[in-house]
Amino acid sequence: MHSDERIEAFYTSKAWRKCRGVFLRECGGLCQICMSNGLIEPATQVHHRIPITPENLDDPRITLSHDNLMALCDSCHDDKHHNKRWRCEPNGHIRL
């Protein structure tokens, strides 16, 4: 199986779905970045701080450890992956 297919398979695995659900419940279901900026936004994504790669895919300290996860809203998750040109200031205002 190609490494990208293995990573895709991980994200549909029972272990990941269970880990993701427990993590979101434990962190209150809110975006951790927005909360640090004084905003309340529901978390819709669970982000790996250390990205999953073919080399670490079999390491549960990377793939399933809550220490490596962040609860994020769609916007903050997109920002983590795409480096948008705008930033959310601590007061909640958007800066280009």
pLDDT at 38 over 50: yes
| Residues of the chain above pLDDT 90, percent | 70
Over residues 63-88, the pLDDT tens digits come to 999 999 999 999 999 888 775 555 55
The pLDDT value recorded for residue 88 is 56
Domain residues of the chain, as ranges?
3-95
Dihedrals φ, ψ of 41, to 5°? Answer: -140, 130
Dihedrals φ, ψ of 56, to 5°? Answer: -110, 10
Whole-angstrom distance, CA of residue 60 vs CA of residue 74: 25
Q: What is the pTM of this model?
A: 0.78
Average pLDDT, stretch 16-21?
96
